[in-house]
Amino acid sequence: MKKDWPLWEIFIRSKNGLSHKHVGSLHAADAQMAIENARDVYTRRNEGISIWVVESKHITASSPDQAESLFDPADDKVYRHPTFYDLPDEVKHI
């Protein structure tokens, strides 16, 4: 039976205000079952308040072969990080 069930990627929102985060994958016959399986597999310990499921085949990933050209160019562009401002002392939580 299992070989017929597609793989699903599971995303859980742990609390309001945070975004859904990838937590893992599981097998299910359809989206409804994927949600229920995710509830039992990934939210048993109060991990979440909302679940997204996406069939794994719909995810397009960047190729590890291209990592150099994709990501290395950002290495020497420190000016893109907002670290060059003088912040007043009154400003908290930055």
Partner 1 sequence: MTLQQAHLEYVLRMGDNALILGQRLSEWCGHGPVLEQDIAITNIALDLMGQARSLMQYAAELEGEGRNEDQIAFLRDAWDFRNVLLVEQPNQDWAYTITRQFYFDAFNYYFHRALTQSTDSHLAAIAEKSLKEVTYHLRYSSEWMIRLGDGTDLSHQKMQAAVDDLWMYTGELTEMNEVDQMMIEAGIGVDLSAIKSLYDEKTCEILNMATMQVPTDTWMQTGGKNGRHSEHLGYILADMQFMQRAYPDMQW
Residues found near partner 1 in the complex (CB under 8 A): 1-2, 5, 26-29, 32-33, 36-37, 40-41, 44
Instruction: Give 14 or 43: the residue with its C-beta nearer to partner 1.
Output: 43
Q: How far apart are CA 53 and CA 35, in angstroms?
A: 6
For the bound state, the minimum distance from the C-beta of residue 84 to partner 1, rounded and expressed in Å, comes to 50
Say how far residue 48 (Cα) sits from the centre of its chain: 13
Q: How far is the CB of 11 from partner 1 (least distance, A)?
A: 16
Which amino acid, residue 36? E
What tokens were used for 8?
Answer: 């699903």
Smaller CB distance to partner 1: residue 41 or 67?
41
